[in-house]
Chains A and B, each alone.
Chain A
Amino acid sequence: MMKMRTVEITVGALMIAGILSLLMLALQVSGLSNFFREEPGYKVKAEFSNIGSLKVRAKVSIGGVVVGRVTEIGLESDTFNAVVWMAIDPKRVNNLPIDTHASILTAGLLGDNYISLTPGFSETQFLKEGDIIPLGSTDSAVILEQLISKFLAGQASTNNKSDQPGGEHP
C-alpha cells in the first residue's frame, strides 16, 4: 500500500487540475470574462455606420499584415453610430498618419469581418492613444442581404420601366 501522504498529495493535485480546467473552460473557451487580458498597444477609435458581424478580438490589418486587434465595440449614444476601439501594436506600426482610412472587409465569402487600415498622407501628424478615425474616412461592412435587395430593387425598377409603355394588363 502506498504512503497515505503521497496519495493525498496526488489527489489534491488532481482536484487542482480539475479546478484549473474549469477556470480555463470558463474564461478562455466560453469567454465568460475578458478583463484579465489587456491587448498591447495604443487604442484608436473608429466610427462606422454599420459594422456587420465584426467581433471583439477581430484582426486589424494594413495590407493584409496583422497590426492589432479590436478590443471593444459600442454604440455612440447621440449619433447611433457604431464605435470600434482597436489596439494597435506600436512594435508593428507607430507612425500611422492622422488621415488613415479604415474599412471593414470580409475574409473570403463566408469569412470573418476584419478591419483594414489604409494609411493616409499626412507626414506630420500621427494617430496616437485615444485618437478618432471619423465616420467620413471609414467604410462600413458590406451586408450581402442589402446588396441583394438593392440589386433586386434595381431589377424591378428596370422591369417596371420596360413594362410602362405597354403596361395595360387586364
Chain B
Amino acid sequence: MITMKRLQLLGRTGFSFMGDVGRATIILYHSLIGKPDWVNGFTRLVQQIYFVGVLSFVIIALSALFIGMVLGLQGYTILNKFGAEHALGQLIALSLVRELGPVVGALLFAGRAGSALTAEIGLMKTTEQLSSMEMMGVDPLRRIIAPRFWAGQISMPVLALIFNCVAILGGYMVGVEWLGVDNGAFWANMQSAVDFHADVVNGIIKSVVFGTVITWIAVFQGIDCQPTAEGIGRSTTKTVVYASLAVLGLDFFLTAVMFGDT
C-alpha cells in the first residue's frame, strides 16, 4: 500500500510540474506575442533594464574582480610548480570566458534580480494591482511581464561580458602586477588559446540562454504565487532555487554540445 501511495504522490508531482510548465509557457506566449507598442514599450524596457541590469552591476563587478584575483592566485601557485606560470593568462581567460563568466554571473543575477522580480510581481498580485489593471482594460501580462522579461534577457549577456572583462583584469592585476608573470606572455598565451567564435561567442550564447531561463522562472513564480505574505516568500525562494538549478543543469548540456567534441 505504501508503495502505491508513493507512486501516486510521484504521479501527482509529475502532473503539477507539467501543469506549471504549461502555464508558464502560456503566460510567456501571451505576454510576448502581439502588436508591439514601440514608444511606451521602449520607455518601460529602459526602466526595467535599470532595475534588473544597472542595479546588479555593482555586485557582478565586485564578485568578478575577486573571482579573477583568486583565479590568478590559485592558478599561479599550481602552475608555478611546473614552471609554467606564463600559461596563467590562458588558464584565467579560458575558464572565465567558457564557464565562470556566464555561470557565476547567472547565479548572482538569479539571486539579485530574479528574486526582486518575483517579489515585486508577487506583491502586485497580493495587493490586487494586477486585477485592477485588468479591470481598467490594461493587459497585465503585456504591461508588467513583457518588459521585465526582455530586460532580463538583454541585461544578462551584457553583465556576463562585463563579468568576464573585470575578472580577467583582476587576474591580470594579481598575476602580472603582483606575482610578476611576464606581461607579454600573459596576453600572448591568452590570445593564442582563446578563439573569438568558439569561446567568446559560445559564452555569450550561454548567458543569453541563462538570462531567458532565469527571468522566465522569476516572472512565472511571481505571477503564480499564493497571494499572501507567506506565498511571496515561498515564491521568491523557489525562484532562486529553481533558477540556480536550471542554470547549473543547462550549463552541463550547453557545455556538452559546445565543447564536448573538442
Contact = CB atoms under 8 A, between A and B. Distances in A.
Which of under 10, 10 to 19, 20 to 34, or 35 or more describes the interface residues of A?
35 or more
A58 B191 CA distance: 12
Across the A-B interface, give the 7 residue pairs with the lowest CB-CB distance, nearest first. Answer: A31-B191, A18-B158, A108-B83, A57-B188, A21-B161, A21-B165, A30-B196
B250 interface: no
Given A18-B162, A55-B188, A11 B194 contact: no
Interface of B: 43, 46-47, 49-50, 53-54, 57, 82-84, 86, 93, 97, 155, 157-159, 161-162, 164-165, 168, 182, 184-185, 187-192, 194-196, 199-200
A25 B165 CA distance: 7
B155 to A, nearest CB: 8
Nearest to A28: B187
A55 B162 CA distance: 28
A65 interface: no
Given A21-B164, A110-B84, A10 B50 contact: yes
Contact of B83 (A4, A24, A66, A110): A110
Contact of B184 (A7, A26, A69): A69
A20 B162 CA distance: 8
24 contacts: A2-B50, A10-B50, A14-B155, A17-B158, A17-B162, A18-B158, A21-B161, A25-B164, A25-B165, A29-B97, A29-B168, A29-B200, A30-B195, A31-B194, A34-B191, A57-B185, A57-B188, A66-B182, A66-B184, A69-B184, A107-B86, A108-B83, A110-B83, A111-B83
Given A7-B50, A8-B46, A18-B161, A29 B83 contact: no
A57 B195 contact: no
A58 B185 contact: yes
A111 B199 CA distance: 24
B196 A32 contact: yes
A110 B90 CA distance: 15
Contacts of A59: 182, 184-185
Given A18-B162, A30-B199, A57 B184 contact: yes
Contact of B57 (A8, A14, A110): A14
Nearest to A20: B165
Contact of B190 (A29, A34, A56, A58): A29
Given A59-B184, A110-B83, A26 B54 contact: no
A110 B50 CA distance: 48
Nearest to A114: B185
Interface string A45-58: 00000000001111
A46 B181 CA distance: 26
B188 A56 contact: yes
Contacts of B190: 29, 31
A58 B200 contact: no
A29 B93 contact: yes
B103 to A, nearest CB: 16
Given A21-B162, A111-B86, 14 more contacts: A11-B53, A14-B158, A17-B158, A25-B165, A26-B200, A28-B187, A30-B194, A31-B192, A57-B185, A57-B188, A59-B182, A108-B84, A110-B83, A111-B83
A137 B42 CA distance: 67
A24 B192 contact: no
A57 B187 CA distance: 9
Contacts of A7: 46-47, 50
Contacts of B158: 14-15, 17-18, 21
A109 interface: yes
Contact of A10 (B54, B159, B162, B165): B54
B191 A29 contact: yes
A72 interface: no
Given A10-B50, A11-B50, A14-B53, A109 B200 contact: no
A14 B49 contact: yes
